[in-house]
Amino acid sequence: QVQLVESGGGLVQPGGSLRLSCEASGFTLDYYAITWFRQAPGKEREGVSCISNGDGTLYYADSVKGRFTISQDNAKNTVYLQMNGLKSDDTAVYYCAATRQNVEDTWYYAELYSVWGQGTQVIVSS
């Protein structure tokens, strides 16, 4: 069974850090682009960060550049999102998604992704 499972969400104070994990099962990540999306209440889903397939280029939304870091551990078949300097605007459900398509500059197009996790809630609040 092909699936992605996110973990690591929770409640954190502004300025704090969290590390999200996205573990793949039923397939290996080597040939897939993996992207973290998020959706806040009343807002559209947005792409946060991506590791592209092929050359492994990293992409970030402008809103998280310099604060979030995406990484991949092939031995664990897992992608991570290290989130530092969290702000209240980062509050959302975070999803990871996978695609075999070459995403490049279209990495944030949700319709390109065929495998999705169930999401993990991140709340940034004092």
Q: What local confidence, expressed as pLDDT, does residue 11 receive?
A: 98
CA neighbor of 103 nearest in space, from 32, 22, 11, 48: 32
Q: Kindly report, residue by residue over 62-91, the tens digit of the pLDDT.
A: 999 999 999 999 999 999 999 999 999 999
Q: Amino acid identity, residue 103?
A: V
Give the position of tokens 């889903």: 45
The radius of gyration of the chain from alpha carbons, rounded to an integer in Å, stands at: 13
The Cα 113–Cα 99 span in angstroms is 5
Q: What average pLDDT score do residues 1-20 get?
A: 97
What would the two tokens of residue 68 be? 């979030």
Please report the pLDDT score of residue 104 as a whole number: 86
Q: What is the mean pLDDT of the chain?
A: 96
Per-residue tokens: 49: 């960060």
Q: Can you give the pLDDT at residue 53? A: 86
| pLDDT for residue 54 | 75
- Banded pLDDT at 1 (limits 50, 70, 90): confident
| Three-class SS state of 70 | strand
Q: For residues 90 and 29, which has the higher predicted lDDT (pLDDT)?
A: 90
Question: Is pLDDT larger for residue 35 or for residue 105?
Answer: 35
> How confident is the model over 10-33, as a mean pLDDT?
95
| pLDDT of 56 strictly over 80 | yes
